[in-house]
Structure 1
Amino acid sequence: MKKKKKYSTGIKSTPFLYLELKKIAKLKVRNSNITDKEIRRQAVEDNIFQVNTLNRRKTISRATIKRINVLDDYLIDQLLNGTLDNSKQIALYSILKTDRLFFEFMKEVYREKYLIKDPYLHDKDFNIFFEKKAEQSERVAGWKEYTYYKLKQVFIRILFEAGFIKEQDKREIVRPIINQSLKQHLIDKNEAEYLEAMLG
C-alpha cells in the first residue's frame, strides 16, 4: 500500500512555477545525467531562476526538482514541446503528484463541482474543505487561520495560471481539454486518479 504524503504548507511559497519547471526540464533534456545536486548548484550559484535571495533560489530549486522527478520522459517532452494547454496541465499534474493537500482539494472540491454542475469555486468551498481536513488531521488543525487564507489564494492562483478557472475573482471553472495520447499515457501509468482530479 502506498504511503500517504504528509500535509504541507510549502505550496504557499512555491505556487505554479511553470517557467521554472520548464527550465529544469530543459536542463534534464540537454544532460540526461545531470543530478539533483548539480541542478541545485546551478539554481544557487548561477541563479538560473533569476531571483534575488539565496533562500528563494533554494526554495524554488527544491520544489521544481521534486516536481520534475515525478515526470517521465514522455511527460517532460510534452511539457517542453506540447501545446501550451497540455504543457500547463503537466505542470499542474506535477503539483498533484507532490502536494497531498492540493491533490485532495482537486479530487474532493474541484472534481465535485463538475459532478454537481456548479461552475464556480466559492469561498465556502475552501472553508469547508479546510475544516474537514482539520477534523481529519491534527497537523492541519494546528495551522493558523492566515495559513488557510494563504493556501486558498495559492490554490486559486495555480488554477488560474494553469487555465483551470477563468478569473481569480469569479473563479469560473474551465474544464480542460486534454489530448487523447496524454490521457492514455496517464491511464497506462495507473494514474487515472490524477486525470479524474483534473477532468472530473
Structure 2
Amino acid sequence: MSFKWEYISTLKSKSFLYKETKKVAGLINQGFNEFEIKNKAKKDNIFQVNTEARRSEIASTVLKRLKVLDDFFIEKIVNGDIETGKQIVVYSIMKTDRLFFEFMHEVFREKMLFKDFILYDKDFNIFFNRKKEQSEKVASWSDSTFCKLKQVYIRILFESGLLKGQRRKREVVRPIIEEEVVQHLKEIGDSKYLNALIGEV
C-alpha cells in the first residue's frame, strides 16, 4: 500500500476493539457479508453497546480494518492465540491509518532499536510537532485532537500488550509473533509493518 493517502484524525474517537474484531472475523469466516454484519450489529447488538449509532460505528470501523487483511490473517484472529490476534489487529490499524503507522515506525520501532524502552510524553510531542511541519493538514488540527490521539495510541499499545503502564512510566514491550505470521508478512511484502512492531531495520 502506498503512503500517498491522507492523514486522518478519526482514530481519536475509536479504540483497539480486539474482541469486536474477533467477533466480526468469525462472522466473515461463517460466510456473512458486510451488509449482514452491519445489520446484525444494529439489530442483534452483537457488540453489547447502548446506541444504534455506536453499534454502526464499531461495525464500520472493524470492517474497514478487516478489509485490508487476507484470509490467512482473518483465520488467525478467529482461531489463533490471543497475543497473535492482538498484533494482527495492530497491523490492521497501521494499514488503515497513516499517522498511526508513522508513529509505530518512527517512534515505537526506534525505541526498540535504540533500547530506550520508556515511552515519554515528549516522544509524542516531538512526533506530532514533526508531522505538523511536514503536513498542512496535520498542522490545522487542534491541540485537543493531538491530546486525544495520544491517549488512544497509548490505550491501543497497552491493550495489545505492546506497552506496560499507561501513565508516566510506559515500558515498550517487544511482541512475540508466530513465525508463520512473520513469514506471511514478508511474503506479501509487508515487512515494514512487521519491523514497526518488532523493532527491526
**Shared fold (TM-score, shorter chain, > 0.5):** yes
- One-letter code of the match for 2:170? R
Corresponding residue number in structure 1 for 2:20: 20
Q: Which runs of 4+ in 1 moved over 4 A?
A: none
Q: Which digits, 9 at most, give the CA deviation of each residue in 1:163-184, with x for residues without a partner? A: 0011112210010111111100
C-alpha separation between the residues in 1 aligned to 2:2 and 2:163? 31
Corresponding residue number in structure 2 for 1:198: 197
Say yes or no: does 1:148 pair with 2:146.
yes
Corresponding residue number in structure 2 for 1:8: 8
C-alpha separation between the residues in 1 aligned to 2:24 and 2:69? 12
C-alpha separation between the residues in 2 aligned to 1:189 and 1:13? 30
Query: What CA RMSD, in Å, does the superposition of the two structures yield over aligned residues?
Result: 1.2
Q: CA deviation at 1:127?
A: 0.4
Q: CA deviation at 1:58?
A: 1.7
Aligned residues: 198
Corresponding residue number in structure 2 for 1:136: 134
Corresponding residue number in structure 1 for 2:42: 44
C-alpha separation between the residues in 2 aligned to 1:2 and 1:13? 25
Q: CA deviation at 1:3?
A: 5.5
- One-letter code of the match for 2:183? Q
Q: CA deviation at 1:22?
A: 0.6
Other structure's SS at 1:58 match:
helix
C-alpha separation between the residues in 2 aligned to 1:65 and 1:127? 31
Tell whether the 8 Å contact from 2:3 to 2:98 is kept in structure 1 after alignment. no
Corresponding residue number in structure 2 for 1:107: 105
Corresponding residue number in structure 2 for 1:80: 78
C-alpha separation between the residues in 2 aligned to 1:142 and 1:2? 23
Distance change >3 Å, CA 142–CA 60, structure 1 → 2: same
C-alpha separation between the residues in 2 aligned to 1:92 and 1:3? 17
C-alpha separation between the residues in 2 aligned to 1:2 and 1:180? 26
- One-letter code of the match for 1:11? L
Gaps in structure 1 of 5+ consecutive residues: none
C-alpha separation between the residues in 1 aligned to 2:181 and 2:3? 26
Q: Which digits, 9 at most, give the CA deviation of each residue in 1:131-161, with x for residues without a partner? A: 1111111111111111101100000000000
- One-letter code of the match for 2:96? T
Gaps in structure 2 of 5+ consecutive residues: none
C-alpha separation between the residues in 1 aligned to 2:16 and 2:4? 22
Q: CA deviation at 1:12?
A: 1.5
- One-letter code of the match for 1:112? E
Q: Which digits, 9 at most, give the CA deviation of each residue in 1:19-53, with x for residues without a partner? A: 0101110110111xx32222222212222111111
